[in-house]
Structure 1
Amino acid sequence: MACAGLTSDQLRERALTPSGLSLLGLVRHMADVERTWFRSVLNGENSSAHWPRSDGGAFDVDTADPVEAFETWHEECARSRDIVDAACHTSSR
């Protein structure tokens, strides 16, 4: 909700100098958190981050695309729900 209606520039805005923290960076980070915890940890998949640290990581948003970030996060959330649903069905048998 904090991101709704904000422009790309507003999403890239840093919280405080010299902080590299931005709302867009948090969205990208959360997409990687969803991927890591649900795919790798819970489901045992071998998955890598969307934005590897060697490339600046999720918090490097200077040229980041907000649409891509939100789409990626929504896709990872949907995949996480599928993994949880599958785990619940397996454990209830």
Structure 2
Amino acid sequence: MSEQPERWTQATVYPDMWADPGDDPRDKGEDSPEGELPTLQDYLKDYRLTLLMKCEGLSPEQLARRSVPPSTMSLLGLVRHLAEVERDWRNWITDADPLPKLYGARDGDFDGAVAEQSLVDGAYADLAREQAATDAALYAHPDLGERLGEDGIAVRELLVHRIEEYARHCGHADLLRECVDGRVGQ
């Protein structure tokens, strides 16, 4: 018997998808948004939702399962990492003292991702809170060309960078989830 889980998907219409179109919360059945800012916000929202979809239905042990040695990456670690990154982006757009790290020392977001329900619940709460705070800070500046913070970073660059960060980590989440229980799909 192999220790590798058998590959599977819940999708029946398109077997390479995570869910059938009617069950996919990212498919709103609406036209794409008009304008650059709403388009960027929509992509960010969908990647955030994709990450949560890749984690749903798993136990704390499954969420905390590491990928392959020596990597410390896990789905729970990704949730914690993205909460940390959201907080750090706010440091880029202000001249104030930097916000403290959520999980302590470097790599604390991954190293501290252990299989405890309270830690899982805390990670999801941290992510939601940090996303909302960063959204509020950035969306207070609707001019995408406006330059913020000490380094004069454009709002557009920060939004695109956030999309890139979530997209990259959703790719990691695809592989991590497949290692955990064999579920596949974009």
Q: TM-score, normalised by structure 1?
A: 0.83
Tell me the residue number matched to 1:13: 65
Tell me the residue number matched to 2:105: 53
Give the unaligned 5+ runs of structure 2.
Answer: 1-52, 147-186
Distance 1:17 1:40 in 2: 32
Whether contact under 8 Å (1:12, 1:23) holds in the other structure is yes
Secondary structure, aligned partner of 2:80: helix
State the aligned residue count.
Answer: 88
Whether contact under 8 Å (1:12, 1:62) holds in the other structure is yes
Tell me the residue number matched to 1:84: 138
Whether contact under 8 Å (2:55, 2:75) holds in the other structure is yes
Moved more, 77-86 or 60-69: 60-69
One-letter code aligned to 1:69: A
Tell me the residue number matched to 2:3: none
Tell me the residue number matched to 1:22: 74
Secondary structure, aligned partner of 1:31: helix
- Given candidates 68, 71, 77, the residue that maps to 2:125 is 71
Distance 1:77 1:33 in 2: 9
Distance 1:34 1:18 in 2: 26
Shift of 1:88: 2.1
Q: Does 1:44 align with 2:95?
A: yes
Q: TM-score, normalised by structure 2?
A: 0.43
Tell me the residue number matched to 1:31: 83
Deviation readout 1:32-55 (Å, 9 max, x if unpaired): 100001x2002334201100116x
One-letter code aligned to 2:70: P
Q: Which has the higher helix share?
A: 1
Shift of 1:70: 0.6
Once superposed, which parts of structure 1, at least 4 consecutive aligned residues long, lie more than 4 Å away? none
Whether contact under 8 Å (2:61, 2:115) holds in the other structure is no
Whether contact under 8 Å (1:43, 1:83) holds in the other structure is no
